[in-house]
């Protein structure tokens, strides 16, 4: 079949919702767009009035969560930052910004959970009247904690565009769990809201999809326990896998036999060896498995590490419960704490976007109605309220900071000047303090006068790229028929495809009948097996920024069709909307013990050197902890505020 016919079969020409446009007008906000006056013409705004008139958030119908198509680091959010990188801050227009005369107690760059939490903590310390400005380059707040909305006839469907769940809240620090509680979040209520029995009661379970390009044939096999694949390999399943017979036997051996593959080494030496051996090499060199085993397990580390088993240490995989270590005694890790194990159920329907929304509710009066963790789920945000003169806290979206500079030398300065670009125009504001809760790697461009040592440390990590696609389908009968709820696809474009989490709370109800429209969640973590992990992340990022929405859409349709057609799924008629949350700058960089030492003192870690206060400028965000979690973003926001408390006398403007 030629490509055109195939595209037609997939439904590439069908009408689906791709709401990239608001009121028929693109809200892509790159400088070029503004420069060529699309926005100006669209609204009839004369050029000189552009700077003050540029306020898309105040337009009726401005509601980013409802946009589909390409989201995440969407077009319009990254262009100015890349210009800063490429021009190294020497853009002439930015050197002469408009001075709007705005002055704040605190200017925060980054409206993710870390920046929002920092604003919350600062107000606790300096008073609710403190004047705070939060700048963010996206059209929506929350950073990675983004909400995706869909409409299924009269029903609202909610998805998470990034940050998925509150993971293991019992392990949260006093500060981070304290914040959740102050916002009204009671984690134990999720035991009621998350229906842990629904899929079991319908006899749905995990499955593996073997694709013909990798395994010679398309085959969907029900296989219990998919997350950290292969924890419950059964003979009856393994025998149907389209892999060599020797590989099937090897998988069973890895799973069930108590074999020590490094018998000559004492436990501590064994551990040292496993730390410096990839899981792939462990399987091939020590467990001596057939190469087909590697093909099956290759992508099983993708969701956690954003790389395959070639770039994750065997030691990490042993700790995570991957097969092959049953007979190997290893020293107990201080991080292992089985008593702290909690089910993975602490999930709002829009993921941790609800935490961001609860923060905004507490910071900006009138932005989000309601009072509880339940009513936040369906509360519509009023974007026109976010940046309002009458509010002590203002959140200014579509605004990229390009400079943060002390007025006078950092040791004696009383203020920091922050320059940001909005609607193609540079503006300047002043703050008595500044917190950069953005990405570590952009900080050296914002503050070129920092020491080389600090800049080098900030530039050390490479954020991990990944894609969360939400696909609205008209019904999920195919899943019911095939008896699956989540699919691991080691060789396919999207390595994981799952039915949305069955969570109902407040006025929001999970579509628990298979006849109803629901959301599928698809994961892709682009990487380049064989390279070291940082180079894999760089290659993945490049792939993401150069992949069109059309390519994502074609892959969504092709893969869902091939996996689910035996259950009656038709990609042409059953897909109603697609949102691709593309995160070239995704998870914070986490040190990888396979490639770098983890035994250096904490004070010598790049994230610790990089986050040192620089005069009145402090640095927050999850990169500064080297861990990609919501609680670390909160803790680091708190730490940055504590640095202000410790090192400066607070100026309040009221």
Ligand X SMILES: Cc1cc2nc3c(=O)[nH]c(=O)nc-3n(C[C@H](O)[C@H](O)[C@H](O)COP(=O)(O)OP(=O)(O)OC[C@H]3O[C@@H](n4cnc5c(N)ncnc54)[C@H](O)[C@@H]3O)c2cc1C
Residue 68 is encoded by which pair of tokens? 């589909």
Residue among 164 and 496 whose Cβ is closer to ligand X? 164
CB of 332 to ligand X, least distance (A): 25
Of 106, 103, 101, nearest to 127 (Cα)? 106
Site map for ligand X, 628-647, x if CB under 6 A?
xxx-xx--------------
CB of 89 to ligand X, least distance (A): 11
Burial of residue 118 (CB within 10 Å: 0-12, 13-18, 19+) is buried
- Does residue 138 belong to the site contacting ligand X (CB under 6 A)? yes
CB of 355 to ligand X, least distance (A): 9
Among 40, 126, 145, 492, binds ligand X (CB under 6 A): 145
Residue 628 is encoded by which pair of tokens? 């990609």
Give residues 512-571 in contact with ligand X (rule: CB under 6 A).
none
Site map for ligand X, 38-77, x if CB under 6 A?
----------------------------------------
Q: Classify 392 as helix, strand or coil.
A: coil
- Does residue 164 belong to the site contacting ligand X (CB under 6 A)? yes
- Does residue 363 belong to the site contacting ligand X (CB under 6 A)? no
**Cβ(595)–Cβ(636) below 8 Å:** no
**Cβ(304)–Cβ(496) below 8 Å:** no
Among 107, 386, 437, 527, binds ligand X (CB under 6 A): 437
Residue among 167 and 320 whose Cβ is closer to ligand X? 167
Residue among 262 and 633 whose Cβ is closer to ligand X? 633
Distance CA 449, CA 200 (A): 58
Residue among 299 and 437 whose Cβ is closer to ligand X? 437
Segment near ligand X (CB under 6 A); pick from 162-170, 422-430, 469-477, 483-491: 162-170
Distance CA 235, CA 215 (A): 19
- Does residue 144 belong to the site contacting ligand X (CB under 6 A)? yes
CA dihedral 302, 304, 310, 313 (to 10 degrees): -170
Among 94, 322, 493, 587, binds ligand X (CB under 6 A): 587
Of 464, 565, 465, 479, nearest to 520 (Cα)? 479
Tokens 């107990």 -> residue:
332
Q: Is the dihedral of CA 271, 272, 275, 276 positive or negative?
A: negative
Residue 433 CA from chain centroid, whole number:
28
Distance CA 495, CA 105 (A): 46
**Cβ(513)–Cβ(474) below 8 Å:** no
Please count the residues of this chain forming the interface with ligand X, following the rule CB under 6 A.
39
Residue among 136 and 316 whose Cβ is closer to ligand X? 136
Q: Which residues pair with 206 in a beta bridge?
A: 486
Give residues 374-403 in contact with ligand X (rule: CB under 6 A).
400-401
- Does residue 466 belong to the site contacting ligand X (CB under 6 A)? yes
CB of 396 to ligand X, least distance (A): 9
Distance CA 171, CA 544 (A): 33
Residues that bind ligand X (CB under 6 A): 81, 109-115, 135-138, 143-145, 162-165, 167, 400-401, 437-439, 442, 466, 468, 583, 586-588, 621-622, 628-630, 632-633
């Amino acid at each position: 079949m030629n490509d055109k016919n195939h595209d037609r079969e997939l439904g590439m020409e069908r009408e689906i919702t791709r709401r990239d446009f608001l009121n028929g007008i693109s809200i892509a906000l790159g400088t070029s767009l503004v420069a060529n006056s699309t926005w100006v013409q669209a609204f009839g705004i004369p050029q000189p009035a552009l700077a003050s008139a540029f306020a898309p958030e105040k337009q009726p119908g401005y509601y980013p969560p409802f946009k589909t198509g390409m989201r995440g680091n969407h077009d319009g959010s990254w262009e100015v930052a890349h210009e800063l990188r490429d021009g190294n801050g020497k853009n002439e227009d930015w050197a002469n910004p408009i001075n709007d005369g705005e002055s704040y107690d605190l200017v925060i760059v980054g409206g993710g959970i870390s920046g929002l939490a920092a604003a919350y903590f600062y107000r606790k310390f300096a008073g609710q009247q403190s004047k705070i400005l939060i700048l963010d380059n996206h059209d929506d707040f929350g950073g990675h904690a983004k909400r995706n909305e869909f409409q299924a006839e009269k029903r609202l469907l909610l998805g998470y565009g990034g940050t998925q769940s509150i993971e293991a809240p019992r392990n949260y620090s006093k500060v981070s769990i304290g914040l959740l509680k102050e916002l009204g979040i009671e984690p134990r209520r999720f035991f009621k809201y998350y229906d842990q029995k629904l899929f079991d009661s319908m006899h749905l379970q995990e499955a593996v999809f073997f694709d013909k390009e990798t395994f010679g044939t398309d085959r969907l096999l029900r296989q219990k326990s998919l997350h950290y694949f292969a924890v419950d390999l059964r003979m009856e399943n393994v025998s149907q896998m389209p892999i060599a017979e020797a590989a099937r036997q090897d998988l069973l051996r890895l799973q069930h036999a108590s074999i020590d593959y490094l018998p000559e080494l004492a436990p501590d030496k064994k551990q040292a060896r496993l730390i410096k051996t990839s899981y792939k090499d462990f399987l091939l060199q020590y467990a001596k498995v057939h190469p087909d085993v590697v093909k099956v397990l290759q992508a099983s580390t993708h969701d956690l590490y954003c790389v395959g088993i070639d770039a994750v240490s065997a030691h990490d995989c042993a700790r995570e419960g991957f097969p092959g270590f049953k007979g190997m005694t290893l020293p107990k890790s201080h991080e292992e704490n089985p008593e702290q194990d909690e089910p993975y159920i602490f999930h709002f329907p829009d993921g941790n976007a609800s935490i961001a929304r609860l923060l905004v509710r507490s910071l900006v009066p009138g932005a989000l109605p309601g009072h509880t963790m339940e009513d936040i789920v369906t509360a519509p945000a009023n974007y026109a309220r976010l940046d309002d003169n009458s509010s002590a806290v203002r959140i200014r979206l579509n605004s990229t900071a390009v400079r943060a500079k002390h007025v006078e030398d950092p040791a004696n300065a009383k203020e920091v000047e922050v320059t940001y670009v909005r609607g193609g125009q540079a503006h300047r504001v002043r703050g008595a303090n500044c917190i950069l809760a953005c990405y570590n790697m952009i900080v050296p461009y914002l503050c070129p006068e920092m020491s080389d040592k600090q800049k080098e440390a900030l530039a050390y990590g490479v954020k991990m790229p990944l894609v969360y696609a939400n696909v609205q389908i008209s019904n999920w009968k195919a899943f019911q028929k095939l008896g699956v709820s989540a699919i691991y696809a080691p060789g396919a474009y999207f390595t994981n495809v799952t039915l949305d989490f069955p969570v109902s709370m407040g006025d929001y109800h999970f579509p628990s009948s298979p006849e109803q429209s629901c959301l599928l969640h698809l994961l892709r973590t682009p990487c380049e097996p064989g390279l070291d992990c940082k180079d894999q992340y760089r290659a993945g990022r490049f792939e993401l920024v150069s992949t069109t929405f059309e390519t994502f859409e074609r892959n969504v349709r092709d893969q869902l069709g091939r996996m689910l057609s035996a259950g009656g799924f038709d990609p042409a008629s059953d897909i109603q909307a697609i949102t691709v949350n593309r995160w070239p700058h995704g998870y914070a960089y986490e040190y990888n013990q396979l490639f770098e030492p983890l035994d250096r003192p904490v004070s010598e870690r790049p994230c610790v050197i990089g986050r040192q206060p620089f005069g009145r400028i402090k640095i927050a965000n999850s990169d500064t902890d080297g861990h990609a979690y919501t609680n670390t973003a909160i803790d680091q926001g708190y730490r940055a505020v504590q640095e202000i408390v410790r090192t400066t006398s607070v100026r309040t403007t009221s």
